[in-house]
Amino acid sequence: MKPETHAFGILICGSANGVAITANKHQGIRAAICWGDELARLARSHNNANVLCIPARFVSVPTATEMVDVFIATPFEGGRHENRVKKIACM
């Protein structure tokens, strides 16, 4: 499966570190830890993240809901970010 065909994912745990590290071991996954909507927007627009990792100990339900909405609605900018994102892929 090509990385472009992966659907979005959402992972939630206490700090989000463990799930992000584990998810990023898999080809086509670009998991980002976010604790606010601005970070969710940047994860998508600059890094083409496709998995949102939410640290449940540090994020309220309303903030998490807003982050998910922003994450899904934000397109990848490409351009100057494209080459860097291509280097992220697992081989």
If 0-12 CB within 10 Å is exposed, 13-18 middle and 19+ buried, where does residue 39 land? middle
Q: In whole angstroms, how far apart are CA 36 and each of 40, 57, 69?
A: 6, 13, 11
State the catalytic residue, choosing from 26, 46, 81, 90.
Answer: 46
- 53 catalytic residue (yes or no): no
Collapse the DSSP code of 79 into the 3-class scheme (helix H, G, I; strand E, B; otherwise coil) and give the result.
helix
Is 13 assigned a catalytic role? yes
Which of the residues 6, 13, 26, 34 is marked catalytic? 13
Q: Which residues are known catalytic residues?
A: 13, 46
